[in-house]
Homo-oligomer: A and B are copies of this chain.
Amino acid sequence: MTDQMYHVALASRPSGAPTAENFRYEARPMPVPGENEVLVRVHYMSLDPYMRGRMDDAKSYAKPVEIGATMEAGAVGEVIASNSPAFKPGDFAFGMFGWATHGCLKANLLRKVDPTQVPITTSLGVLGMPGFTGWFGLTELGKPKAGETLVVAAATGPVGSMVGQVAKSLGLRAVGVAGGADKCRLAVETFGFDACLDHRAYATAADLRQALAAECPDGVDIYFENVGGKVLSAVVPLMNNFGRIPICGMISWYNAGGLGAGASDPDITAPALWRNILVKFLSVNGFIISNHFDRFPAFMAQVAPKVASGEIAYVEDVAEGLENAPAAFMALLKGGNMGKQIVKVI
């Protein structure tokens, strides 16, 4: 075991879209596990849109990453040293190790991952936080009913693809939105969406709305919100009475000047949004999956066997090398990935 590891630190806060200068790849001393701590050599690390929010110092549901500190991430790897009876070297564990080659955490902050049923990468996507987010948000907050129509954007991402597949399994019509013809094909052919629209093919929210209306002849009952912006603006006027909008993200606005009261959007205004909620009796619920970890065992019990059997599909996009994580992350925020974005660390 060497006495050095590597991590990616937040070098500076971005204004707008992050750039390479906001990140710093550097060596740091290898941690030594203390009491009840476990040292893990990271194999795969997750990249997720929420990390953009951690780079700002705006008040949010989570603290910002400090300048100079390790960028936050969930990751999975092999235990190489353990001072906990719960883990032994050779075990695989998921934890919030950050953008780093190694991580050292208390055992109670780790989740053991069984590498024999499904690949360990699934703990980052389809069977990790994103898949759980899609499953929980749709089933608990979306209140889906057979015959209804659902719209979700980023339809080939790990959240959207779970939402679409669960919706289909419950008898809903599932219409996706994604960026590019390849993603739309993937959404329909691999994830079973009834239709998927390429938002890049529509210059305005009104154009996208018209195309969505054609694919949603009975209106939209559930809009699973993970992007905001043009898609939100397109969908909201199509919502049916008593529709539900679970909100787990708004990636299109993440670079919008910190999203303070000053940030605006050309497509939709606050009064228009509010009016739609009022006159259609919508139920809009923001959530973060970390408030609902009590439901994780139920999620795994229900979904893991379907992933193992292939009934639930997943697609991963793997970047090679921790030093390339910033570039992969910047691409992710622009929709450059296809499926769940992962970084292979070793």
Contacts and interface: CB of A to CB of B under 8 A. Distances in A.
Contacts of A285: 277, 281-284
A177 to B, nearest CB: 17
A108 to B, nearest CB: 24
Contact of A247 (B233, B268, B278): B278
Contacts of A222: none
Contacts of A119: none
A2 interface: no
A59 B342 CA distance: 45
Contacts of A288: 278-279, 281
A233 B248 contact: no
Contact of A260 (B59, B241, B272, B282): B272
A232 interface: yes
Given A280-B286, A286-B282, A274 B60 contact: no
B264 A271 contact: yes
B286 A279 contact: yes
A249 B274 CA distance: 9
A15 interface: no
Contact of A263 (B225, B263, B269): B269
Interface residues of A, number: 45
A265 interface: yes
Contacts of A277: 247, 284-286
A210 to B, nearest CB: 14
Most chain B CB within 10 A, of A250, A270, A274, is at A270
A268 B272 contact: no
22 contacts: A61-B279, A247-B274, A248-B278, A250-B271, A250-B274, A250-B275, A250-B278, A253-B274, A256-B271, A259-B275, A261-B267, A263-B271, A264-B269, A265-B270, A265-B271, A269-B269, A270-B273, A279-B286, A280-B286, A282-B285, A283-B284, A283-B286
Interface of A: 59-61, 225, 228, 232-233, 237, 241, 247-250, 253, 256, 259-265, 267-288, 291
Contacts of A228: 271, 274
B281 A283 contact: no
A264 B283 CA distance: 22
A261 B268 contact: yes
Given A263-B271, A270-B273, A283 B283 contact: yes
Nearest to A59: B279
